[in-house]
Structure 1
Amino acid sequence: MASEAQATAEHALRAAISRGEMPPGFRLVEAELVALTGVSRSAVRSAIDALAAEGLVERIPNKGARVRVVSTDEAIAITECRLPLEGLLARKAAERITDAEIDRMRAHLEAMAGAVDAGDVLTYSALIQQLYGMVGAAARHPIAADLVSRLQAQLVRHQFRLSLRPGRPRVSLRGLSELVNAVTARDPDRAEAAATTHLRGVIAALSDPMPEPGVPA
């Protein structure tokens, strides 16, 4: 089980990577990360190992660790792999969700809408990841949820970049609202369709070479 210090370091690194502060290829120097996160070197090393297991960073023999480069083509392929898994989780979530989970998921959707209205892209991007986790938890299908989590971890930077495109957050919010509404209505067919439709939209957006001003390439 990860220590609190390791979790702190993981969160800080994941956020920095998603914001582009640590772009693909960025070297992760343990001493610098200790100063950045305020945790021990062993906690930083464990955090790097955890992110490497997720595919977010990589260790290069004799060169240390760096942020892994995930190309757009690879991001599309990863999202394609997520399609059936996310559909399965949405279906199971609609079948198994509790009343308490429905309340939390609806409140979470309101927070997502608030972030979009405020133009808070970073918060919205983080809330999307949390929503996927909530659907996975409601599904009570740990194998599929773990596979999705590992795939999703590799896409945080691409997801953040998509959120910066003009109009994209509202398109995303509509798709995810349909997912939440279907799951909380306990409609498995509709939930599965909503999940796959949303991800097909993500694939289409990733395939669009539209320039993203102000975002590091």
Structure 2
Amino acid sequence: MEVGAERLASPAEVADAVRRGILAGELVAGQRLVEAELSESLGARRGAVRTALIDLTHEGLVERIANRGARVRVVSVEEAIQITEVRMMVEGLCGAKAAERISDDEIADLQALGDRMRACVDHGDVVGYSRLNQQLHETVIRIAAQPVAAEVIGQLRARNVRHQFRLAYRPGRPQASLPQHLAIIEGLAARDPEAAQAAVRAHIASVMTALRESDPA
């Protein structure tokens, strides 16, 4: 994972770089996080890396194993469902707030995004659809202008990223989720907070169902 030649002076900057790596799938569940390697690749001091890993451990993104150092935390399906349940409530709030704040231009942008999502499903472009899916959720959160909620959702998504990737590429998942995403856009375009909140929560509830179905137990 490279972040450029500039020096990351603070532990917060190092933690953010590692967090982004987890979200992007560059750092995968169970992968060891070696302080010396991170220090070199991020251009940071070892002390800053060590502090960052401690902070990420408190966030639930990293775990420290006795005599083995740190690694990206492995999240079970059961915990992933619990994380998603919390996300459903917080992101539903963002849907309602976004419906209250959304502008005409933002409505037009979201409707265009919905058209692109339809095209991806029609052409079997799973990768493109996954990216647009993420863009839609990020846009709703941005429009909501709820920084605390955005921070919570970001941490939850980072902890659940492995399961999110697995679901995104499951056969039939884009076809199942497209109507749910279009319903979110419809609720926002109508500036109906209740409809937008219900659509967001219905979509994330379907994610929980898919996670349960993926559990071999």
Flag whether TM exceeds 0.5 (same fold): yes
* Correspondence 1:16 to 2:20: no
CA distance in 1, matches of 2:54, 2:120: 32
Q: 1:185 aligns with which of 151, 170, 190?
A: 190
Q: Does 1:174 align with 2:179?
A: yes
Gaps of 5+ in 1: 212-217
User: How much has 1:179 moved relative to structure 2?
Assistant: 0.6
* Residue number in structure 2 paired with 1:157: 162
Partner of 1:215: none
Deviation at 1:30, TM superposition (A): 4.0
Indicate conservation of the 8 Å contact 1:94/1:182, yes or no. yes
Question: Secondary structure at the residue paired with 1:130?
Answer: helix
CA distance in 1, matches of 2:19, 2:152: 19
Show the counterpart of 1:137.
Answer: 142
* Cα distance in 2, alignment partners of residues 111 and 78 from structure 1: 29
- Write the mapping of 1:112-127 to structure 2, written as runs, cut at 5 A: 112-127=117-132
Root mean square deviation of aligned Cα? 3.2
Counterpart contact for 1:183–1:191, Cα < 8 Å: yes
Match of 1:214 in 2: none
Task: Give the distance between the partners of 1:113 and 1:47, measured in 2 at CA.
Answer: 40
Whether 1:79 and 2:88 are equivalent positions in the alignment is no
Instruction: Give ranges in structure 2 of 5+ residues lacking alignment.
Output: 1-9
Label 1:121 to 1:147 Cα distance change in 2 as closer, same or farther (>3 A).
same
Equivalent residue in structure 1 for 2:96, among 91, 101, 109: 91
On the 8 A contact 1:31/1:41 being kept in 2, the answer is no
Q: Name 1:40's counterpart in structure 2.
A: 43
Q: Deviation of residue 174 (structure 1)?
A: 1.9
Structure number with larger C-alpha Rg: 2
Structure 1 stretch 159-168 or stretch 111-120: which is displaced more?
A: 111-120
Percent sequence identity over aligned pairs: 46
Matched residues in 1 for 2:140 and 2:166: separation?
23
| CA 120–47 in structure 1, closer or farther in 2 if over 3 Å, else same | farther
Contact 2:23–2:157 (Cα < 8 Å) also in 1: no
8 Å contact from structure 2 (residues 77, 215) kept in 1:
no
Is 2:204 aligned against 1:204? no
